């Protein structure tokens, strides 16, 4: 399974867009990119996922590069409640190994 690398921390001003990068240079063709976030010590919460095309939902947008080796999660108008640790993971779509690697994520701090 592909592993991911993310910056350990980022700051973002309230109301501005937060752009969180993720590198997954060893991703294979059948692996999806998933994003989760964890507020304080609560259970992580699913945000969005994608395979090749850019995706958008009510929470965020996901931009995946054409070579699929990196992606960016965009929170269009960050609020204080978006302060959290954000995890980018890759997951196979078929019966591959299911050892899902979360790593340490990016700690996003939204500043008033």
Partner 1 sequence: EAQVTQNPRYLITVTGKKLTVTCSQNMNHEYMSWYRQDPGLGLRQIYYSMNVEVTDKGDVPEGYKVSRKEKRNFPLILESPSPNQTSLYFCASRLTRAYGELFFGEGSRLTVL
* Interaction site with partner 1 (CB under 8 A): 32, 34, 36, 41-46, 49, 87, 91-105
Shortest reach from residue 109's CB to partner 1, in Å: 17
Cα torsion 36, 40, 41, 46 to 10°: value is: -20
Cβ 95 to partner 1 shortest distance, Å: 6
The CA distance from 54 to 19, in Å, is: 14
> Which residue lies nearer to partner 1 by CB, 43 or 112?
43
Closest CA to 83 of 32, 55, 42: 42
- Judged by beta carbon, residue 29 or residue 43, the one nearer partner 1 is 43
Q: Work out how close the CB of 63 gets to partner 1 at its nearest, in angstroms, rounded to a whole number.
A: 19
Query: Closer CB to partner 1, residue 61 or residue 102?
Result: 102
User: What's the number of CA atoms in the CB half-sphere (13 Å) around residue 81?
Assistant: 2
- Shortest Cβ distance from residue 92 to partner 1 (Å)? 6
What residues pair up with 10 in beta bridges, in sequence order?
Answer: 108
Question: How many Cβ atoms from other residues are within 10 Å of residue 101's Cβ?
Answer: 12
Q: SS3 of 54, please?
A: coil
Q: Pick the closer one to partner 1 by CB: 45 or 56.
A: 45
């Amino acid at each position: 399974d592909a592993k991911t690398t993310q910056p350990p921390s980022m700051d973002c001003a309230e109301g501005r867009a937060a752009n969180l990068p993720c590198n997954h240079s060893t991703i294979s063709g059948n692996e999806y990119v998933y994003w989760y976030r964890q507020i304080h010590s609560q259970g992580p919460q699913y945000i969005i996922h994608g395979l090749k095309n850019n995706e958008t939902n009510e929470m965020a947008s996901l931009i995946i590069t054409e070579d699929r080796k990196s992606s960016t999660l965009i929170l269009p108008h960050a609020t204080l409640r978006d302060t959290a640790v954000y995890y980018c993971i890759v997951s196979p779509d078929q019966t591959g190994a299911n050892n899902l690697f979360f790593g340490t994520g990016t700690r996003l701090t939204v500043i008033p």
